[in-house]
Structure 1
């Protein structure tokens, strides 16, 4: 097909028939979205609102995303068909997949694979998104742009023109999926010169200044936009300031200045600083800065960017592997392994360290679980050799006595949300129900009431006490318990476990729980503030909550805001 002035192939009736196999009835979409019910809304963009819903596909009932065209936002039939054209021709694991579309009257709806974690812009400042995960996401995006810029089999180059963190979706496994091709341009792969467009488009802050000023578009324009995203990932924030829903200042110039003045510490997301290996940081920041070069001839190709980002990941893994080796040297008894994979397997099963006082294990996301033996951290009583299955040689036996734990972590993964859990056994019969026992941090005034107790796969019971973000490997906690309750009548305590929240395995629990419920809060629903979501987002640290009820009890407990200077409750 010939390419007209705007880079969009003219679509004839025959061309449109080519896509008939993707067409579905609008009534199926209306049914799946409950007639575009606001409760199904998951996002908005320059094309229009996006909803989620379940469709019956060849693989069975499947959750998908529906993007509904809103012409008032500036995009229309051309952008609608451009998405269909691009995504039907371009197939890559890091590009969002177009499943169907529907046209009825003025309605235009595109149906995509559902990316359960939403868009990257919502996670830039999230301390639970590790540096390694961020590298994998950036590498995925780079691979997709390399595929678009340098096609192997197709005869067309695709320039996205609107690369930004809001257009990078994340699936259940945190794999990147580039989306939103409504503004993209295409031309033959053998035509390498830039094209002049009189009306440059894109998003302020991400748009290549040369393209914005001159109208000349090239592959390097996407490279610039991707460089901005790389700095966003490193700095943990969007590339612009905003006030009253308006962009109020672009940060890219400040980021470049900090790079050249060797002041990256001033802009890197605080939670990432202790995670990033220095070599990985140098490689990543160098390629990100090169993407923003004012002379587009000095900008790297996507192939070069992929290689450098993979080097940054390798450098990060080398540092991580060194840490694992150092941990393995502390094992009791000593570990024997012949390869890195064997070491990973041993650590995933768990090892004793610190003369048998600590149990360390590693989850599939390479985050450390650390359990401190009760014999090490429970104070004031005599221990006995356990007759039950335990990781440790001794357990602590409680029989209607108060006790205190003093625990110091040594090996936690950094910038990861953790839960503090009591691991114990008692005569409780109904697991998964609320069991009252009282506890508090030493610095707190009031005692808290525990939530639901769950039985783990290893046979022990687990009660979550607190949540916090690990900013370093070592943390100190002193927790006082009152054992005058049903939970601690004849109770055996194995230890205190620090468990990464990102890997809470629901198979270890009988059900999802609502924590810290008391009978005096029976009218909780009338007490929830109307702006409860805005309030929880003020938290200094990552706070996990899943329901309106759970949010109420988190607010009753209180959490830090404004960089920890104030407490909201």
Structure 2
């Protein structure tokens, strides 16, 4: 059975997608990533219900192609979790390769770094993302784990209810969950600033590589800036975060807008787990289930004083 036929129930006609986006009107373009442009739109389901969607159109000039397209379909049709972005359908007509997702009306986490969200709100977003990644590493009812390989704040989507969802699985790998080192790869992929140095240098991909990337995201949230905005050839953002923690200078690293509201115990728990995620030795990095627990504890300390 051809892949196209296997997922026949997810097919959406190109005509319906053109109607939803007003023929890919630039006014409906809400972003652009490694896969191509992303449009917002509204599709009519068989019951006549209108559903807001995000529509990703493959542009091969950005380096991705059929492999990433079908990988995303196969993965998201099998792995379903409230904190993992849901694939609603796809279009494969002619040269067009299009993915249709549930619409995240509040965009992605990177848009809120250094913004006006409360520390409690930011913690809840981090917890949701951590739960999604924990599920991918240890999904229920299967012995296959997903290694995302491109965890970053722009790949953490946020819906109308501030629910966080892990997205963009074009670079992901799937392998046995009962093996410590799932893959030995010849070429490391991901986004500069987030990629685990051990994976980049040794080409050994493990779930701890995702944990490292998530640690970078946690420190981005804490200091209110993207890791890519830190330009120092001698010291990476992750190194700066680790050094600041070891030197007990987290109060100098925290973003000004949350410095006055954060509970000291909440900060202590949060920065400790974020620091552990960035451990140079893979074996010293926590499981994502442990990250979830500590983030939940950090939130409890914050809420208790509110």
TM-score tier, shorter chain, comes to over 0.9
Provide, for residues 14-44 of structure 1, a one-character-per-residue CA deviation record: whole Å limited to 9, x for no partner.
x442210000110110111111111000011
Q: CA deviation at 1:152?
A: 2.1
Superposed, which structure 2 residues align to 1:204-353 within 5 Å? 204-241=192-229, 250-320=236-306
Q: CA deviation at 1:263?
A: 0.9
Q: CA deviation at 1:242?
A: 6.8
Residue in 1 that maps onto 2:49: 60
SS in structure 2 at match of 1:62: strand
- Within 2, Cα distance between the matches of 1:232 and 1:270? 13
Gaps spanning 5+ residues in structure 1: where? 1-11, 321-569
Q: CA deviation at 1:204?
A: 0.3
- Within 2, Cα distance between the matches of 1:295 and 1:249? 18
Is the 2:106–2:158 Cα contact (8 Å) retained in structure 1? yes
The one of the two structures with greater contact order (alpha-carbon pairs below 8 A, sep at least 6) is 2
Is the 1:83–1:182 Cα contact (8 Å) retained in structure 2? yes
Instruction: Provide the aligned C-alpha RMSD in A.
Output: 1.6
Is the 1:241–1:249 Cα contact (8 Å) retained in structure 2? no
Q: In 2 relative to 1, CA 212–275 (structure 1 residues): closer, same or farther, beyond 3 Å?
A: same
Residue in 2 that maps onto 1:35: 23
Is the 2:196–2:213 Cα contact (8 Å) retained in structure 1? yes
Is the 1:239–1:251 Cα contact (8 Å) retained in structure 2? yes
Residue in 1 that maps onto 2:9: 21
* Partner of residue 167 from structure 1, selected from 155, 162, 165: 155
Is the 1:41–1:50 Cα contact (8 Å) retained in structure 2? yes
Per residue, is there more helix in 1 or in 2? 2
Residue in 2 that maps onto 1:144: 132
- Within 1, Cα distance between the matches of 2:82 and 2:182? 28
SS in structure 1 at match of 2:305: helix
TM-score by length of 2: 0.96
Q: In 2 relative to 1, CA 242–297 (structure 1 residues): closer, same or farther, beyond 3 Å?
A: closer
Provide, for residues 29-79 of structure 1, a one-character-per-residue CA deviation record: whole Å limited to 9, x for no partner.
011111111100001111111000111124711111000001110100000
* Partner of residue 89 from structure 1, selected from 78, 84, 98: 78
Is the 1:43–1:49 Cα contact (8 Å) retained in structure 2? yes
Q: Number of matched residues?
A: 304
Is the 2:181–2:205 Cα contact (8 Å) retained in structure 1? no
Provide, for residues 364-384 of structure 1, a one-character-per-residue CA deviation record: whole Å limited to 9, x for no partner.
xxxxxxxxxxxxxxxxxxxxx
TM-score by length of 1: 0.52
Provide, for residues 224-256 of structure 1, a one-character-per-residue CA deviation record: whole Å limited to 9, x for no partner.
00000000010100012278xxx9974221111
Superposed, which structure 2 residues align to 1:125-524 within 5 Å? 125-127=114-116, 129-241=117-229, 250-320=236-306
* Partner of residue 87 from structure 2, selected from 92, 95, 98: 98
Is the 1:47–1:68 Cα contact (8 Å) retained in structure 2? yes
Gaps spanning 5+ residues in structure 2: where? none
Is the 2:216–2:238 Cα contact (8 Å) retained in structure 1? yes
